[in-house]
Structure 1
Amino acid sequence: MSTATKNFITVETVVNAPVAKVWESWNEPEHIKQWCAASPDWHAPAAENDLREGGSFSTTMAAKDGSFSFDFGGVYDVVKHHSLIEYTMGDGRKTEIVFTPDGDTTRVVETFQAETENSLDMQRQGWQAILDNFKKYTESLA
C-alpha cells in the first residue's frame, strides 16, 4: 500500500454521552469489539490496546461469513486523557482523534491520512460508518 498521498479525510459525530464514557468506549478492547465495523456483515472478533505514548493497538476486522479478515493497528504518538489521541498506522499513515466535551455530549473528530488504493469517498464512507456504529453503541450504554 502506498502512503505517498498527503490527502487527509475528516469524519465526525456528536455522541450523547459524557467524555469519560466516550473515552472508555473508544479505548477498552471489550467495547471496541462491539462497534468497530463498517457494516452489519462485518465484526471485530479481537482487539488489543495499550493506550499510552509508544503503546500499540490492533483490531481484527472480519467478514462474519469468514471470507476475509485483516488487522488494523498502529502505535500511539500522543495520548492526552479525555481529549486527544494521535497514532501512526502500521503503513505509516497518521490519524488524529479529538474529543471535545460539552456537558453530557462529546464531539469526536477523526482525521486520517488517506491511502491510495480506494477512492477518498469510499474511505470517508467507511470510516464514517464505523464512527456512526461507535456513536450508536456508546449511546446504548447510557
Structure 2
Amino acid sequence: MSKTNDAKNRTVTLKRTFNAPIELVWEAWTQPNHIVEWWGPKGMNAKVIEHNFKVGGKWKYTMQMPDGNEFISEGMYFEIVEFEKIISSADFKPMTEGVEIQAFFEKNGDQTNFTFNIVHDTEEYCKQQEKMGILNGWGSVFDRLIEHLEVLVK
C-alpha cells in the first residue's frame, strides 16, 4: 500500500462552500475574537487561552461542556500559507488526541471553498473516531461558522 493510500485511509474530510469572500473566512478562522463565536459544537462556548498564529506557535481553546467539565482543544501550527492553508497538530481532550488538522481555503468568486482534513495516526483510530461521531461534531462546528459568516457579510 502506498503512503498516499495509507494517508487517505487515515483521514476524515469535510467540505463546505462558504458564502463569504476568502479574506473574511480567513479572518474568522484566524482571529480570536471570531473563533470564540463559532469554535465548538452548538451549545458550547469557547474561550481562547492561547493563540500564537505563526509556524511553531501554539493554540489552546477551552469549551464548557453541558456536564460542567471542560473540553480542551490545543495544538501547534506546522504550516500557514495566507488565504490557502493552515496545518497544525491537534488534541481535543478527552476525545481525540494526536491528530493533524488541515484547513484549505480556495477563492471561488465571492465565495470560499473550504476543505478540512483530520489525519489520524492509524486507519483503526480514524474508523473509531468516525463511529464516535467526528463528522457530526465538526459538521456542527462548521454550521456555526456559516452562521457567524452570515452575520459578518450583512
TM-score normalised to the size of structure 2? 0.79
Are 2:38 and 1:35 aligned? yes
- Cα distance between partner residues in 1 of 2:21 and 2:64: 30
1:3 corresponds in structure 2 to: none
Deviations 1:51-95 (A, max 9, x none): 1111111111212x5612121010011000011011112443111
Q: In the alignment, which residue of structure 2 is the partner of 1:69? A: 70
Q: Are positions 1:107 and 2:113 aligned together?
A: yes
Shift of 1:117: 9.5
Change (3 A) 1:71 1:47: same
Q: Superposed, which structure 2 residues align to 1:82-101 within 5 Å?
A: 82-90=83-91, 91-101=97-107
* Structure 1, unpaired ranges of 5+: 1-5
Q: C-alpha separation between the residues in 2 aligned to 1:8 and 1:16?
A: 26
TM-aligned CA deviation for residue 12 of structure 1: 1.7
**Which of 1 and 2 has greater Rg?**
2
Structure 1 residue 119 displacement after superposition: 4.0
Q: TM-score, normalised by structure 1?
A: 0.85
AA aligned opposite 2:147: K
Which of the pair has the greater relative contact order for Cα pairs under 8 Å at 6+ separation?
A: 1
2:137 matches 1:134: no
Would the aligned equivalents of 1:13 and 1:132 in 2 still touch at CA under 8 Å?
Answer: no
Counting matched residue pairs gives: 135
Give 1:118 shift. 5.2
RMSD of aligned alpha carbons = 1.9
Gaps of 5+ in 2: 1-8, 92-96
Taking only the aligned residue pairs, the percentage that are identical comes to 24
Give the partner amino acid of 2:130.
L
The aligned counterpart of 2:51 is 49
Worse overlay, 44-53 or 128-137: 44-53
Cα pair 1:29 1:48 within 8 Å, conserved: no
Greater per-residue helix proportion: 2
